[in-house]
Structure 1
């Protein structure tokens, strides 16, 4: 029984690491796709209709970028860098 545990724990660790790395890769791909969609919407002059994003954009336009970044991160689950870039894009939209 003890010998089985010696092999089981490292195997579970490798499995968890593999799953985590795959999730990180998928998250990066989704973030890239979201950025591309944002660029396409900007190019077409369209805006995503979402009251929460409108509130975040208002915060950014009124100089409350830190609050806007925090709200964006809570709303989307994005990381700090992605949220900062998104808030800057929202602030420049008319």
Structure 2
């Protein structure tokens, strides 16, 4: 049940981001951040734990040490994300 709900939210977010013109990217990013917060709250309420990506603790350690650039590099290696996505993710973790 929880997986179906999470999958539906992620599909909706993907469709929203694909259909939005480039001028509204900031608005879509804000909406995505709010949706992510809501999904996190739902998962927490349901007691569902999302497995962490192995090695992500190294990213958190680098952030604590103030080494954001290194943290972004490690995040990209672990996830395969692009530079912008990795930078945004690391900044959210900070």
Q: Give the structure with the larger helix fraction.
A: 1
Normalising by structure 2, report the TM-score: 0.47
